[in-house]
Amino acid sequence: MASPKITVIGLGYLGATHAAAMAELGFEVLGLDVVPEKMRKLEQGHAPMFEPGLEELLRSHVAGVEGSSGRLRFTDSWEEIGAFGDVHFVCVNTPQKHGEYGCDMSYVDSAVESLAPHLHGPALVVGKSTVPVGSAARLAARIAELAPAGAEAELAWNPEFLREGFAVQDTLHPDRIVVGVAGPRGEALLREVYATPVAEGTPFLVTDFPTAELVKTAANSFLATKISFINAMAEICEAADGDVVKLAEAIGHDDRIGRKFLRAGIGFGGGCLPKDLRAFMARAGELGASEALTFLREIDSINMRRRAQMVEMAREALGGALLGKRIAVLGATFKPDSDDVRDSPALNVAGQLHLQGAQVTVYDPKGMENARAVFPTLGYADSALDAVRGADVVLHLTEWAEFKELDPAALGDVASSRHILDGRNTLDPVPWRKAGWTFRALGRPTL
Ligand code: UDX
């Protein structure tokens, strides 16, 4: 039997990576995005965002790029998508609704509305976007109404767990594959699509629709809870003069707790964790189960408090006033190895300091363009050294590898005062203190 032909709808962090990975696994892939500039970049073999390894993978497969397999192509025609695919992956984003906790389903809805009328034969539509539980059942009914193929057009839900910065690796070698299906045909097709990772030992879990949808939001809620737990411990350490870094290491040795996701600092951000928590609470409310998730409100509050605490720490380091003070901010993205500044704690702190009258200069290895678009009134420098020049205090807010390599003596020569605050707990205080810097970090003792 010929291997299934695949389409990918929505070519952001998730979709662009998924499309390239499917081509890498040997499938013929056709991608569609409603943003023409994104498609144009992809057609040239360029990634629409910074993601390690993605550009190389695209160049190996995008048709027209010299030496590529030619298995990955793009189109803006829904008709072509419908005629081409046996399996259609829906990878569009589901942002937080403006002014509400709930998630904005308009991109998913419009993808399904555009695709379904072009399904004339057997087809499997596979949702990968993170959606409120209950969406798959609703979308399955909509496909049944709209698709000329009738019952031959089915839906499955296959949540995605990729981390930015590791998207390629997580997509090619996932730690689990979860598929919510309506029947054996969907399962069989997805087993075929994921035959390679499954043969490598990746667990393949088959569930119903609601469970598959919930796996994603439950996993993200658990990760957020771990981070906010250790950040709550950081608050206690600050009050009691304890060291949260040592505390995390010590409790992490208990393998029931584990060491991962216990790094205290300015907290979580990005396009997933914050909005997924809020959408989950909103959905629980609609289901009459809001009490089950009231704790997530506290997880969110702890997380947001850390940003405010960072601002207070900067104010203290500057003798109590921010007005007119020069602040260097190292890092703008929500995490290293990404250019994503969506709900970035680093940029949020930089913005708060600026709005309170400080002169803030930001440097980030990959996030400058996106940061500038969101916050054009901040100052931007071309290097860490330039950002630090003349600064009264330096804030380390995204843990890029290059910041670990900085030379405290060289930065000390250009700074106005030697004060550094580590908002990510990844810098080694010893060399900084040796070079004459006052080094402070969230949740750690002053000296
Ligand atoms: C997350 C999930 O990890 C992924 O499985 C899901 O598919 C999408 O959402 P991502 O948004 O890429 O992935 O970021 P993640 O690596 O989870 O980090 C989220 C935030 O938490 C970052 O701002 C990071 O700096 C912060 N973080 C992480 C901490 O503050 N402390 C930690 O110990 C770990």
pLDDT tens figures, 306-345: 999 999 999 999 999 999 999 999 999 999 999 999 999 9
Confidence of residue 446 (pLDDT cuts 50, 70, 90): confident
Percentage of the chain beyond pLDDT 90 is: 99
Q: Does the pLDDT value for residue 1 go beyond 70?
A: no
- Partners of 153 in the beta sheet? 123
C-alpha closest to that of 431 among 447, 401, 408:
408
Establish whether residue 259 lines the binding site of ligand 1, counting it when its CB lies within 6 angstroms of any ligand atom. Answer: no
Which pair of tokens denotes residue 155?
């839906």
Q: List pLDDT tens digits, range 98-149.
A: 999 999 999 999 999 999 999 999 999 999 999 999 999 999 999 999 999 9
User: Could you tell me if 332 and 346 are in contact, meaning their C-beta atoms sit under 8 angstroms apart?
Assistant: yes
How many angstroms separate the alpha carbon of residue 268 from the centre of ligand 1?
6
Q: What domains lie within the chain, and their CATH numbers? A: 6-207 (3.40.50.720), 208-447 (3.40.50.720)
pLDDT digits (tens, 9 = 90+) for 147-189: 999 999 999 999 999 999 999 999 999 999 999 999 999 999 9
For ligand 1, whether the C-beta of 227 sits within 6 Å is yes
Q: What phi, psi does 90 have (nearest 5°)? A: -100, 110
Predicted pLDDT of residue 257: 97
CB contact set of 245 (below 8 Å; sequence gap of 6+): 264, 425, 441, 443, 444
Residue 57 has what pLDDT? 98
Q: Which residue has a Cα nearest atom 19 of ligand 1?
A: 268
Closest CA to 180 of 156, 161, 204: 156
Q: Is the pLDDT of residue 246 over 70?
A: yes
Ligand 1 midpoint to CA 276 (Å): 12
Q: What is the DSSP string of 294-305?
A: HHHHHHHHHHHH
Ligand 1 atom with minimal separation from the 272 CA: 9
Percent of the chain, pLDDT > 70?
Answer: 100
Question: What is the residue-averaged pLDDT of the chain?
Answer: 97
Classify residue 436 by its DSSP letter.
T
Q: Taking the CB of residue 369, how many other CB atoms lie within 10 A of it? A: 13
Distance CA 442, CA 365 (A): 23
- Which residue has the least CA distance to atom 26 on ligand 1? 268
pTM, two decimal places: 0.96
Would residue 272 show up in a list of annotated catalytic residues for this protein?
yes
**What residue's CA is closest to ligand 1, atom 5?**
161
At 281-303, the pLDDT tens digits run 999 999 999 999 999 999 999 99
Of 98 and 446, the structure prediction assigns the larger pLDDT to 98
Is the pLDDT at 447 greater than 90, yes or no?
A: no
Closest CA relative to residue 268, chosen from 358, 163, 420: 163
Pocket test for ligand 1, best of 170, 173, 220, 223 (most atoms within 8 A of CB): 223
Q: Ligand 1 mean position to 116 CA, how many Å?
A: 34
Distance CA 44, CA 29 (A): 16
Q: Which of 91, 103, 237, 272 is catalytic?
A: 272
The structure tokens 């291997």 sit at 3
Q: Ligand 1 pocket check: which of 177, 268, 334 to mutate, most ligand atoms within 8 Å of Cβ?
A: 268
- Strands (E) in 47-159, as ranges, are 72-74, 87-90, 123-127, 153-157
Write down the H helix ranges in 241-375. Answer: 244-252, 273-286, 294-317, 345-355, 368-374
**How far is 273 from 365, CA to CA, in rounded Å?**
23
Tell me the mean pLDDT in the region 410-431: 98
Could you tell me the pLDDT band of residue 440, with boundaries at 50, 70 and 90? very high
Q: Does residue 2 have a pLDDT over 90?
A: no
